[in-house]
Structures are given as C-alpha cells and as structure tokens.
Structure 1
Amino acid sequence: MAGSTEGSEKTQSKSGAKTTAKQGDKPAAKSTVNQPQLGFIGMCRWAWTQLTTMRVALILLLILALAAIPGSLLPQRIQDPGRVNTFLENNGAWGQFLDTIQMFDVYSSVWFSAIYLLLMISLVGCIIPRTKQHWKAMRSSPPKAPRRLSRMPGYAAFTSAQADAETREDADEAFLDAAEARLKKSGYRINRQSDHIAAERGYLRETGNLVFHIALLMATLTMAIGSLFGYEGQRILVEGETFSNSLVSYDSFEPGSYYDADNLPDFRLKLDSFTSTFDDQAAGNQFGQPRTFDAQVTTTADGTTESHLLKVNEPVRVGGVGVYLTGNGYAPEVTVRDAKGDIVQSGPQVFIPDGGDPGYTSEGVIKVPDSAGTQMGFVGVFLPTAAQNEDGELISSFAELRNPYLVMSGYTGDLGLDSGVPQSVYSLDAENMTEMTDESGNPLVIQLAEGDTQKLPNGGSVTFDGVKKYIAVDISQDPTQALMLISAILVLAGLGLSLFIPRRRVWVRIKNGDAEVAALARGEDPMVERAVDGLVKDLRDPEPDEGQHGDDDER
C-alpha cells in the first residue's frame, strides 16, 4: 500500500510539473487554413457544370426570346431595306448607333448567334446525362417500401378482410394479388416483395421532358441548316407587274452559305390587284386600324398558270418556294416632261409608308437622269387622304385613297448615278444638286391633286396621273420545313407529357390483415391523396365490420 501511495504521489507531482510547464509556455500561434485554389481547369469545369444545367438552358432560352424582340420592333435589312434606310435618315446618330450594334440585322448578328450557340451547347450537355440517368431509372425496379409509410404525403391504414388463423397468410397474399392487379391496371410498374408491393408510374413525364428538349435542339439545328442550304429574297411588286424568279429580279437576295444561286426554280409571279381595308367606324385608337390585306396574284410554273389569293400569314407556294406578304403601300403615277415637252420619266413610283403614321403618310424619291440638259430629282410626300390639322399643316387623316395628294420639292444637277457608289432608290443625294425655286426665289413646292400638272422653272412639267398599290413580298426556299414541322409537333407533345403526366410512387403493405397504403409524388402532384383514397376504396373489405374494426379504419 505504501508503495502504491508513493507511486501515485510521484505521478501526481510529475503531472503537476508538466502542467505548470505548459501553463508557463507562450501560447502557440493560430494555425492558418490553406484554401484550395480553383485554377483555370477547375474554373472551366465549374463553368461547364453551370452551362449544362437545365436552369441555365431555360435562362438562355428566355434570353434568346428577349433578344429576338428588336427584330420584331425594328425594320430588318433582310426583309425591308427601304424602311431601314428611312429609319437611319430620320433618326441620325441614334439610328447609326443601332446600326452599329446590329439592331437592323438581329438574326445574323454576332450577339444573337452567340446566344444561339450557347443554347445549343447547353441543351446537348444537359440532355445527354439526363438521358442516361432516365434510361437507368426505366430499367431499374421501383424502390422498396420505407420503414415508416406514415410519413408520406399520401397515407392511409385500414384492416383488410379477416380470415381464420390458418389461412391468414393466404389472405394477405390474396390482398397483395388484388393490389398488384389494381396497380398494373393503372399503369404502374410493380416490384413484389414478401410483405408489400412497390409501384411507380409516370416515367413518361421525364420522357416528355427529354423529348421537349431534344425537339427544341432539333428545331434550332433545323433553322441553322435551313439558313445554310436555303435562300431568302425580297421584291416590291406594283399592280400589273410580273416578277421572274432570277437573281437580277430581286431587290435584295440573301443566299445560304451552301446555296447555289444558279439553281433558282423557274416561275413567274404577277400582281393582278391588291385590296386593303381599314376600320373607319371604331372610335379611339382602333380608328384607322388595318383589317384586311388581300393580294390577287397569278403564278406560272412548269407551264401551268394558277390564280391565288395572297394574305398575311397565308403564303403562296410555287416551284417549291414560299411567297409571303410582308408589306404594302402606294405608288403615285407621275409623268415628268422636259422643256421640249418630251416625256423623260413616267410610271408608278414606290413611296415608303411612315411606320408610325396610321394615315399611311409615305415618302419617296423620283430620279430623272435622262432629262435634256441636266438631271432632275424630286423628294416628295404622298398623302392618301389629305387634310389639314389644327395648325394648318397637311396630314393624311386616313389610310385609304379618299383624297390623294402629292407634295414634292425639286432639284437639278448631278444625281451621282455615274460615280460608281451604290445608291438607294428611296433616297436622294442632293449634295451636288441645286434646289428649284419659284419666281420669288423661294424653294419650289410642288402640290398636286390627282390629275393636276405643275410647271417647272426650267420649262418642264410634272403631272400626277393617279395611284397604284404595291406589295412587298418575301420569297424564300427552306428545305427543312418538314423537319421543322416535326420538331414543333414533338415540342408540343413533349411539353404536354411533362406537364400533365404525374410521376408517382405507391407502396402497399400488409401484415396480419393490417394494411397500409402510401404514395409519394416526384414533383408537383396535387392528386396524391386522392390516388391513395381511390386505391384504398378498391382494396378495402366491401362489407367491413364497423363495430369491430372502427379504430383501425380511422388509422
């Protein structure tokens, strides 16, 4: 005992010494935590992971839809180069800024193409792993029942039909057989265990989701392929004119990168007449709104001549090409004579409507390069229904031809047509020209009603003979239209499956006659509880002993 005591004392003394020594030491410095550095490769992996998520794919799809809005609000060169030039002339620096950031070539711009490309990469990176995961899920069995089914959002417990003790196991098996048959009839996949059944349905929901995204990717690729192997062109047709499908006949032509312009299909298109109606009965902002645009055209292809009615969003198909109605306006018929009385310019002149004016006030240019002695040019405004506002200014009060009136200014000099620099037929470069003046030296204002003639200072004259109508058509050939239709159908089908088919798991367990039914939704499914109630109703004893098993029914 004495030895033990001495040993313990020595031990205590040594421990005390160590403790004292530790207490007297200086506190150790805090250890620093080295954070792992992501690095360039890690940053690339993180960016790829983010890009290939479904959330980013949906965000890019939304951004692409928003990026397409300027293409609907602003005129596009590929559709109407004349309106683009008019917009640039009327808006100065603001128009030049919009042109710099490619707002008049939205669908071929660098930024739109970048969003388009990122969306395709995101869809591919998102679809492939989800397809693999879904394939594994479809081949695997539904998961076994968890221990506590009462935690599920849909749950019910009851007592099944009771049998003698010797046949209770048979009764439980019969109960599971009935549950299996009921679930299979409802389209569930079954995983039968000794004491329960695990079932799952709604795999088509994820299938529809994948079909939707694959079809969306297919649609974007189809549009890209169509732009490579097709073409698109624009042409303005005045009433009575005939268009022959050749390269020189287009006002503008945009072939795909791999399209051979020498293989244009052979056909002709004639505009017989054009009719437009506008609302003159409604009040407020609806007054003057367009109601119908109908163009009667005649097509000739492969020796066959047919008559068609061309409308907005109702194209005419001829020679494998679609002809779309994209615009319309008025073309005043003007005759210009020189000092000798010879006609130097005659015929309809296309005037471009001001897009913001419901009265169809239109602007145009008449160039007369063949006049005797000097060239002439006229800049004018056409008013379909001329009237005066409160300030006494001339305006067009309605879009239809009820009081046509033409107001122009004249110039003489060099039109610049021989300079070799391309010019727009809808604008006049008056830098090397002199404005015509009247006898008082004031700028000459030419005002003509239909049938009027006004003398010019050089001895010539201008006559306003009448008005014809014109249409702007978009002529395009897209070899991928059938594939685009299939893609659109698949998009709608996949979206319908993903929205209206619920993904649901159901478990049915029984032991000694005590049955439990539970259901779990994979996503939003407000019908979970109703599905459990319906299954319980089918499996419950049709004539239960309420006095004996009332408590069990309440469970």
Structure 2
Amino acid sequence: MTVVEDRPATAEAPPPRRANPLWALLRNSWRQLTSMRTALLLLFLLALAAVPGSIFPQRTVNRENVQEYFAEHPKLAPAIDRFFAFDVYSSPWFAAIYLLLFTSLVGCVLPRLREHVRALTTVPPDAPKRMDRLPQHFAATVRPQPPAATAEGIAKFLRGRRFRTRLRELPDGGWTVSAEKGFFKETGNLLFHFALLSVLVGVGFGHWYGWHANRLLVTGPDQGFCNTITQFDDSSLGPRVSSSDLPDFCLKLTEFQATYQTTGQPKSFLATVAVSEDGGADQIRSFTVNDPLRLDGANVYLLGQGYAPVLRFTDRYGVQQTKTVPFLPTDGMLTSEGVAQFPDVNIDPKTNKRDDKLQVGFEGVYLPTGGTDGSARSTFPAENNPVLYLAAYRGDLGLDVGIPGSVYALDRTQIETGRLTKVSGERPYVLRPGETWTLDDGSKLEFVGTQKFATLSIRYDPTQFMLLIGSVLGLAGLMLSLAVHRRRVWFRVSPAPDDAGSSVIEAGGLPRTDYSGFADEFTALTQGVVKEGKS
C-alpha cells in the first residue's frame, strides 16, 4: 500500500523587479558628472573656452576695439558674433561649462570630505599576519625587555615622528603597534578643491555685484569726470547693480609723468589726480601701473597713456573754437591717429543758421618725435620733435543722424558718398606747435600744443578678497597634496623563545600612495626603534 503525503505547492519566486530606466539614467549621469575625470575635463574645457576671449576684443573691455574689428572684417565679425565671440565670458556656453564644473566639484568633493573625516576618526588597522609580504619588512631582537614595555617604547618613538598609533595586545602575550601618517595629503587635496570652489563662487558673485568702466582722461582742470554712467567711455554693470549704486567721487588728472629708456621702452608712469569723494574737498593722490588708486567702493587702474593735440579753428567769419582731441596710439613709440571735428562752424552771422555742408573735420597722425626722413612714424615716445600731419575735409560730418560712431575717425560712409570731401590736396599738411594752417576759404587751424592723457579702468569687485584668500589656500592645498605622502607601518613585538624577558620585533611598511622615499624612511624608523631598544 502506497501512502501519498499531501504537501503544499512551492510558491514560485517573484520575477526580479525592473529598475526605473529614468532613475537609472539620472543616477548614472550624476555619477559620471561628479567623477574626478569629468571635473578635470570640464576644467580643461573652461580654459579652452576662455581662449577666444584673448583672441577677439571683448565688449566689456573695449567697445572701440570691437567696432574696429567689425570695420576691418565686415563679413567675419557678424558671423562670429552669433557665437558670442565678443562676449565670451557672458555667453551661454561659457556659463554652462562654468555651472557644470561647479556642480561636478561639489558632487566630487563632498563625498570625499565625508570619507576623509571618517578616516581621521578611524583607528589604524591591526598588523597583518604575514608582514614579509609587505613592500618593506624588517625583523630583529632587542635587549631583555618585556613585550609590553617594548611596544610602548615603539609607540612613543613613532608618536615623536608625528605618526598616529594604536597598541593592541595579542593572546600569546605579544603586542602590535599600528601607525599611520600622511593624512594632510588628502586634507591638502580637499583644501585645493574647496579653494577652487570659492574662486568659482567669487567670480560668479563678482559678476553679479561688481561693475567696471573705462575712461580716457586728459590733463587739465576742465577735463575731469564724476562716477556716473554717462561720463564713461564704456561701462558694464553687474545684473544686481544699478547706476544709483555707484560710489560718489570725481576725478581730475592734474599731471602725468612718463619716463622711457633709450630704446623707447617705458620705464615708469605716474599719474597725479585730484579726487573728491561724497562732495568733499579735492585731495591730491598719485598712483602708478602696479599701485592703483584705491577709493571707497572702487579701484582706479592705469592702463595706458598718449597725447591730445590742442587745435584752435577760426572759421571764415572769424569765430574761433578750441578743442583738445585725444589721438590714440598705434605703436610703442606712440604714433597716434585721431580726428578733430568742428560741426558748429561757419554759421552765417546774418541769418544765424548753420550750413551742414560747411562743417569741417581734420584727420591725421601725431608724432611725438618725428623722424628726419619724413615718414609718418614716431621714433621715440617722448615729445622731442612733435609733428602733426593733417588732412582737411569739408561737408556733412554725419553727426546729426543719430547713429553712434567712433570719435577717433571720420565717417567713411560720408566720404564714400561724397557728402564729405577732402579740401587739403593729396598730401597731408605738416604742423608743429604754434604753427597755423590757412585753408582755401580763409579759415585757419592753429596747432596750439598738446596735453597728455591717461586711459583709466575703474573697477569694483566685492569678492576680490575672497578670490585672494581662495588663491592662497588653493596654492597651500596643492603644495600639501604634492609634498605629503600617506603611509602605514606595523610593529609586532613577541616574547623571545630562547631568552626569557627579551623581545622579537617584526616590522612591515606599506605606502598608500606613490612615494619613492618610503624605503629610506622605513629603514630610518626601524633603525631608530632598534637603537631605542638597545639604549
């Protein structure tokens, strides 16, 4: 008779749960973004993305250079402008790399900081059983001394070498000493990355809350300016800054001194200015290229210098106008180009009406030291033989159409269309200080002399100190990361089998990072331990 037992049916195992593909994609993307390899790649891309900013002129630095680039490359400039070639540091693609790098560094550094804190609070591990398999190994017998006392002496010796130690007693009466050193390597590594993060944060907040402007300032009491947007040649305010936030100060360039070497290379620049802050009395201050003028809420930097010819024009009706017009340098010897425009001249005194066709403009080159060969190139930046080459134009200067244009060149469109014609002949007229040029209609132009001018950059960066601290800490962290090496050493102290009271020492060492000098350090440690044991 066969007995069949009733057994419950075995339940089938549930199918494996399928992971959410979207969550898996986000998790893998985050791991990839926060890896050190990605952070290094983004740092390289950020440096690569900054290259166009040094190749092409930037609007935030000098709008005049951007306009000149458009004039010289009328087809190329609009094309590359679509890719923000003239606004590199405010472009969307530069900001995307910047933000990705910041996110990658945060996601990379925070887990490493947690692991580093855990390593600092964790005791060194116990000695391995087979020390002879370690890269460094040593064994010796010391003078008659109990293992406990020997182990304590070894620990004391290692602590004197700034090792973190841990003593453990073995069941057979022996002792082990675990020692570890070099945690500052990871500390320096983290310090460098946090310093880099502080620099990135400082640059971002400096862009939001900072501002800068440029101004060409001619010497003289009537050539000063106040810190307002309308009196700058070009300016850029941060997104969180308005014109009312600018500090209240006024500046006048009273004197500018420049010295040169015999080769024409600049030796020193010194600008003397009269400064009034918050409506106070003028204070005389001086500053140089490497020592800016520091005001409350702004720094004034000296960028360059040049000459501004003083021209007095007398129109056909005897009315005089005097203008001081800066000529921009084109080479190291301060060969300078510029233009003097007189739109409000030749007004008929009978009708008091101006004929736009009788406006006058002068375009030319100024040489601080003209050569003897008559070439339009200066031979020295100081005014040893000043010469002014000018060409005269009469007609409509095109200043009343409301289209912005350069104040350092005549409108070429007016010349090409014939609205502005040349009246001085083919060769430019040569003037020296004090000389007068009489035009064909009886009007006169006198070259009175020159005034010096300085190109100033006024900047305010609220995170400047933060950037300085971040740079210093980053350098210190990098030095620690490169100079410090993490390593571990172990000592096992056992009772000598043939001599009661003696101890046998076995040691092993393991470098945690590439450290070519670890063998010499391990030898010095073991020799020091043996020496201490024999003393």
TM-score by length of 1: 0.81
Query: Which one-letter code corresponds to 2:233 in the other structure?
Result: D
* 1:447 matched to 2:430: yes
Query: Which one-letter code corresponds to 2:160 in the other structure?
Result: K
* 1:364 matched to 2:338: yes
Alignment of 1:497-512 (within 5 A): 497-512=480-495
Q: Secondary structure at the match of 1:396?
A: coil
Equivalent residue in structure 2 for 1:334, among 306, 311, 327: 311
CA contact (8 A) 2:227 2:248 kept: yes
Equivalent residue in structure 2 for 1:400, among 368, 372, 382: 382
* 1:294 matched to 2:270: yes
Which runs of no fewer than 5 residues in structure 1 stay unpaired? 1-35, 164-170, 281-286, 546-555
CA contact (8 A) 1:386 1:397 kept: yes
Name the CA distance, whole Å, in 1 between partners of 2:410 and 2:130: 84
CA contact (8 A) 1:82 1:426 kept: no
Q: Secondary structure at the match of 1:331?
A: strand
* 1:319 matched to 2:296: yes
Q: Residue 353 of structure 1 aligns with which residue?
A: 329
Shift of 1:257: 0.9
- Against the structure 1 CA distance between its residues 327 and 38, is the aligned structure 2 distance closer, same or farther, given a 3 Å change threshold? farther
Name the CA distance, whole Å, in 2 between partners of 1:410 and 1:436: 6
* 1:155 matched to 2:130: no
CA contact (8 A) 1:154 1:532 kept: yes
Equivalent residue in structure 2 for 1:460, among 436, 443, 454: 443
Q: What is the RMSD computed on CA atoms of the aligned residues?
A: 2.7
Equivalent residue in structure 2 for 1:175, among 147, 150, 154: 150
Q: Secondary structure at the match of 1:159?
A: strand
What CA deviation, in whole Å up to 9, does each residue of 1:64-108 have, x standing for no partner? 334434444554322322233334434554555554443333322
Equivalent residue in structure 2 for 1:519, among 500, 505, 509: 509
Equivalent residue in structure 2 for 1:215, among 191, 195, 198: 195
What CA deviation, in whole Å up to 9, does each residue of 1:341-375 have, x standing for no partner? 3223x232112222xx2222222122211011322
- Against the structure 1 CA distance between its residues 252 and 457, is the aligned structure 2 distance closer, same or farther, given a 3 Å change threshold? same
Name the CA distance, whole Å, in 2 between partners of 1:98 and 1:466: 42
Alignment of 1:7-406 (within 5 A): 45-72=27-54, 74-97=56-79, 99-162=81-144, 171-194=146-169, 195-240=175-220, 241-280=223-262, 287-302=263-278, 303-344=280-321, 346-354=322-330, 357-372=331-346, 373=355, 374-387=358-371, 393-406=375-388
Higher alpha-carbon deviation: 72-81 or 267-276: 72-81
Query: Which one-letter code corresponds to 2:163 in the other structure?
Result: Y
Alignment of 1:459-478 (within 5 A): 459-478=442-461
* 1:487 matched to 2:470: yes
CA contact (8 A) 2:142 2:533 kept: no
Q: Secondary structure at the match of 1:386?
A: coil
Percent identity, please: 38
More helix by share: 1
- Against the structure 1 CA distance between its residues 58 and 138, is the aligned structure 2 distance closer, same or farther, given a 3 Å change threshold? same
Query: Which one-letter code corresponds to 2:362 in the other structure?
Result: F
Q: Residue 435 of structure 1 aligns with which residue?
A: 421
CA contact (8 A) 1:234 1:253 kept: yes
CA contact (8 A) 2:394 2:423 kept: no
- Against the structure 1 CA distance between its residues 541 and 204, is the aligned structure 2 distance closer, same or farther, given a 3 Å change threshold? closer
- Against the structure 1 CA distance between its residues 111 and 173, is the aligned structure 2 distance closer, same or farther, given a 3 Å change threshold? same
Higher alpha-carbon deviation: 105-114 or 312-321: 105-114
Shift of 1:542: 5.8
- Against the structure 1 CA distance between its residues 72 and 316, is the aligned structure 2 distance closer, same or farther, given a 3 Å change threshold? farther
- Against the structure 1 CA distance between its residues 544 and 361, is the aligned structure 2 distance closer, same or farther, given a 3 Å change threshold? same
CA contact (8 A) 1:331 1:349 kept: yes
* 1:537 matched to 2:527: yes
CA contact (8 A) 2:365 2:376 kept: no
Shift of 1:304: 5.0
Shift of 1:295: 1.0
- Give the greater-gyration-radius structure (CA): 1
What CA deviation, in whole Å up to 9, does each residue of 1:6-31 have, x standing for no partner? xxxxxxxxxxxxxxxxxxxxxxxxxx
Query: Which one-letter code corresponds to 1:490 in the other structure?
Result: L
- Against the structure 1 CA distance between its residues 413 and 430, is the aligned structure 2 distance closer, same or farther, given a 3 Å change threshold? farther
What CA deviation, in whole Å up to 9, does each residue of 1:448-506 have, x standing for no partner? 22222222233322222212111111112222233233322322232232222222211
